[in-house]
Amino acid sequence: MSDPKRTLWHLRKVPLFAELGSAAVEALADAVEMREVRRREVIYLPGDPGESLFIVNSGRIKISKVTRDGKALTLSYCGPTELFGETCLTAGGAREEMAEAMENSTVTEISRDDFESMLAEHAKLGFQMTKLLAKRRLELENKLETLVFRDVTSKLAELLLNLAGEYGVEDARGTLVALKITHQELANLIGSTRETVSLTLSQFKKKNLICTEGRRVIISDAESLRALF
């Protein structure tokens, strides 16, 4: 997909590039290319060379760790204007994580060499990138603490409220999480199993903390859910 004007429009919306001059962003737009990825399409796998990083233009990308026996732990979801694949800047070797489109999406791919050249030329970009990496380090540390020290009920309650905060839409029944997500995806986010998540959701429903509509969850009693963690 080659449309420099469209690419430039998307790059100008990225907070990471907010303090770059127009000339630098225009030069970047000329050096990169947007591409479409279909739902469930894998962008890269563990073992693939870490030669580029990506900006999400539209859609939602899941970043996860996958074991050899097929078990998965979701590290994060990335939405529009967010960066992923940045570990190639520090490791420089093969990928250790997997990136997969959770819905039809468009991404901009930036080569590691081009991005490193920009970091060397623009101190403000380097500062913003340092802040981003530090923020993600803290998020992963908090996620690790949650996975290790808290039970499934607590982790799932917090996850549902976080999803409601990000994707919530007011509904007569409470807050509708406007995101279709399977029980397996919920399990991958909290390091559990689909069966355990299904059982815990059923318990939440019996207590009238939530109700469901297909694969969507409605938060009926946010305060009681919050009291679980």
- What's the rounded Cα separation, in Å, for the pair 150 and 170? 29
Q: Would you place residue 89 in the very low, low, confident or very high pLDDT band (cuts 50, 70, 90)?
A: confident
Query: The tokens 């905060």 sit on which residue?
Result: 165
Cα torsion 213, 217, 221, 225: sign? positive
Q: Which is nearest to 96 in space by CA: 78, 128, 77, 73?
A: 73
pLDDT above 90: residue 101:
yes
Convert the pLDDT of each residue in 159-203 to its tens digit.
Answer: 999 999 989 999 889 999 988 889 999 999 999 999 999 999 999
Contact 178, 167 (CB under 8 A): yes
Cβ neighbours of residue 84 under 8 Å, at least 6 residues apart?
53, 54, 56, 61, 63, 76, 78, 99
Percentage with pLDDT > 70 across the chain:
98
| 84 and 61 Cβ atoms separated by less than 8 Å | yes
pLDDT tens track for 30-65: 999 899 999 999 999 999 999 999 999 999 999 999
Sign of the CA dihedral running 99, 194, 208, 223: negative
